Amino acid sequence: MRYSLRQLEVFLAVAHLGNITRAAESLSMSQSAASSALRELEQQFSIQLFDRRGKRLQINEMGRSLRPMAEALLDRAREVERQLASQEDVGELKIGATLTIGNYLAVELIAGFIQQHGSEVTLTVANTAEIARQLCNFDLDVGLVEGELQHPALEVLPWRRDELVVFCAPQHPLAGKKRLSDRDLLGAQWILREPGSGTRQAFDRAMAGILPNLKVLLELQHTEAIKRAVEKQLGIACLSRIALQDAFAAGRLVPLAVPQRQFGRQLYLVMHQQKFRSAGIESWLSLCRASVTESGVAVE
């Protein structure tokens, strides 16, 4: 074999970090050893995997085409190593979740996974667009997202159903209405999630036909900030029911009925299509699916 797993490790570390020095540090290697490993890999096959721009290395088309195969090969090699060592540890798992899922669903799932396997789990919370970017870059193993994704490199699996709810403060003038008309929606001040989030994507779709005329006062990245702004009567908002249950029960916020608008949505599990499904990843996917069965949430 004309290449080594160590050479592939260096290649992937440089692809991830864009710098030989940081790649070497992440692999506990000297800079010269990492540089030699990458140079030998390229010279053995008379190829160039990166465009050199000063001290920064930018992965090129050849490198991008190799990267998924190298990622899958190293994942399989680590799985073989664990099997040979008879380790029960399924290895580190890198999970990405959008805001609502990260704050209200993912932590319980992670706790169950750690209790079952004793493995290290890292959680990255960001909007749908950023989770997709990190999955494409192999920075994450699995994404749990609220927004719909259409990317040729990603595999998107339906997970569980969710529903957005329009809500306001108990003292708001709309709080006493049995149902809101489109005129009410157009007359209200709105506090919304930022563009690029799954919640905003679902809201925009639900408001088809009147969306350009809505009065948007604030666009915020954090669910709790939106809830606090609504409690202060700055406007009305729309978030996942998952994020509002406690506030509704305590009477700090009240739901508003908008029956003419469709606020149901699907939550998804997302992976890179060429990501090797290790035992840890398969166990995580099974845990996520089991959580839907236990909660009684239907999956479409």
Report the distance separating Cα 181 and Cα 229, nearest Å.
23
Give the domain range for residue 289.
Answer: 93-160+266-295
Average pLDDT over residues 10-14: 92
Regarding whether 289 and 142 lie in a shared domain, the answer is yes
The whole-number pLDDT of residue 279 equals 84
For residue 126, which phi and psi values (nearest 5 degrees)? -160, 175
The whole-number pLDDT of residue 296 equals 52
The whole-number pLDDT of residue 253 equals 97
Regarding whether 60 and 123 lie in a shared domain, the answer is no
The whole-number pLDDT of residue 79 equals 77
Report the distance separating Cα 278 and Cα 259, nearest Å.
44
Report the distance separating Cα 52 and Cα 20, nearest Å.
11
Q: 231-269: buried (b, 16+ CB within 10 Å) or exposed (e) per residue?
A: beebbbbbbbebbbeebeeeebbbebebeebebebbbbb
Q: Which CATH number covers residue 76?
A: 1.10.10.10
Report the distance separating Cα 135 and Cα 143, nearest Å.
7
Boundary (domain end) residue, out of 53, 84, 115: 84
Regarding whether 78 and 111 lie in a shared domain, the answer is no
Regarding whether 107 and 221 lie in a shared domain, the answer is no
pTM of the model: 0.72
Is residue 111 one of the residues assigned to a domain?
yes
pLDDT in tens, 86-132: 655 567 899 999 989 999 999 999 999 998 888 889 999 998 889 99
The whole-number pLDDT of residue 21 equals 92
Is residue 300 one of the residues assigned to a domain?
no
Between 78 and 230, whose confidence is greater?
A: 230
Regarding whether 280 and 146 lie in a shared domain, the answer is yes
The whole-number pLDDT of residue 88 equals 56
Residue 198 has pLDDT above 60, yes or no: yes
Regarding whether 239 and 183 lie in a shared domain, the answer is yes
The whole-number pLDDT of residue 89 equals 58
pLDDT in tens, 19-36: 899 999 999 999 999 999
Q: Which CATH number covers residue 273?
A: 3.40.190.10
The whole-number pLDDT of residue 149 equals 85
Regarding whether 171 and 23 lie in a shared domain, the answer is no
Q: How many domains does the chain have?
A: 3
pLDDT band at 84 (very low <50, low <70, confident <90, very high): low
Average pLDDT over residues 156-184: 96
Is residue 68 one of the residues assigned to a domain?
yes
The whole-number pLDDT of residue 224 equals 94
Among positive and negative, which fits the CA dihedral 141, 133, 224, 208?
A: negative
Regarding whether 168 and 155 lie in a shared domain, the answer is no
pLDDT band at 277 (very low <50, low <70, confident <90, very high): confident
pLDDT in tens, 224-276: 999 999 999 999 999 999 999 999 999 999 999 999 999 999 999 999 998 88
